[in-house]
Chains A and B, each alone.
Chain A
Amino acid sequence: MTARIFASALFAGLLAGLIAVLLQWALMEKLILEGEEYETGAKSHFAGVLVLNEDGETAEQAAESGVAAEEEEESLATRYALAFFAAFVTWVGWALLMVAGFALAEKYGQRITMKDAILWGVAGFGAIHVMTGIGLAPELPGTPAAELELRQLWWMTTAATAIIAFALMAYGRKLLYIVIGLALLIAPHLIGAPRLDGYAGVAPPELSGEYVARSYAVAFIAWVLLGLFAGYFWTRKKIT
């Protein structure tokens, strides 16, 4: 059983992580780097003034920046490689939690089918991204926000209560459990996420908006696929 849990989670996490990091490279990195340009002041954004994305370099400047560009390329390669590693760690982590959930459900007589597993993936996205996102939106680098420890605490509490709430509502099936589930879903939002009193973002709102939309898209695709892969490996008979 131990082998079945860990093997399913490892395979599913690696596959979902691979797709997540490909999506991150294709959709997110450019926006992250651009956000950092605003963060560091390399680019600045003023209301209503169009900031062109192409920088018109003269030949002289281009020659000067040649060495810098080479260094930059190297650090960029490192960044991409680290993203690859971090994605695997993250998604194998979520996969282990999901498959531990499958095993727990099975232990109490709830057989997990492929269909269930995909729904678990959707629920994971709902708990980890949607419920936490209500209070703490995905942040483009350089977005000022409240104190980190408080946000992490609120995020963890909200994600954990949402997971418990979804489990109670899906598998409790009694009015009492559904009511407790709803209360758990709402409570963190009544307390409220830590936030700043004002806005001090330096990046254009279009960039932030695009970033947030893509962050949700990447997360949704990866979570649904994680459910699918975890379900596939978990329900396969041969793995034990």
Chain B
Amino acid sequence: MTAITRTGSRSEADFGLLPIFAAAVAGLILIYFSGFAQASQYHDSAHDTRHTLAFPCH
């Protein structure tokens, strides 16, 4: 049964882990800069957003 339901999306499901990994790493880098990096230009730029979204800030 599962095999049948999967055939429709085989081409879509047929991909490697690399794009997934790349997207996850890109996401983590963005979150790092907006939420965690302490260099003052990142901290000051993202200050209000960090507070709003409850990232630990200063």
Q: Which positions in A face B, CB cutoff 8 Å?
A: 1-2, 5-6, 9, 20-21, 24, 28-29, 32, 79, 82-83, 85-87, 89-90, 92-97, 99-100, 103-104, 106-107, 109, 111, 129, 132-133, 136-141, 145, 148, 151-152, 155-156, 215, 218-219
CB distance from A224 to the nearest CB of B (A): 15
Residues of A within 8 A of B36 (CB): 152, 156
A-B contact pairs, 25 of them (CB 8 A): A6-B23, A6-B26, A20-B52, A83-B48, A86-B45, A86-B46, A89-B33, A90-B31, A90-B53, A94-B31, A96-B27, A97-B28, A100-B23, A100-B24, A103-B15, A103-B23, A106-B12, A111-B9, A133-B54, A139-B56, A148-B38, A148-B56, A215-B51, A215-B52, A218-B52
Interface size on B, residues (CB 8 A): 40
Q: Which positions in B face A, CB cutoff 8 Å?
A: 2, 6, 9, 12-13, 15, 17-24, 26-31, 33-36, 38, 44-58
* From A6, A97, A155, residue with most partner B Cβ within 10 Å: A97
Residues of B within 8 A of A94 (CB): 27, 31
With contacts A90-B35, A95-B27, A97-B24 known, is A109 near B6, CB below 8 A?
A: yes
Residues of B within 8 A of A155 (CB): 55-56
> Cβ of A83 and Cβ of B49 under 8 Å apart?
yes
Closest to B29 in A: A93
Residues of B within 8 A of A90 (CB): 30-31, 34-35, 46, 49, 53
* From A2, A90, A139, A151, residue with most partner B Cβ within 10 Å: A90
CB distance from A213 to the nearest CB of B (A): 12
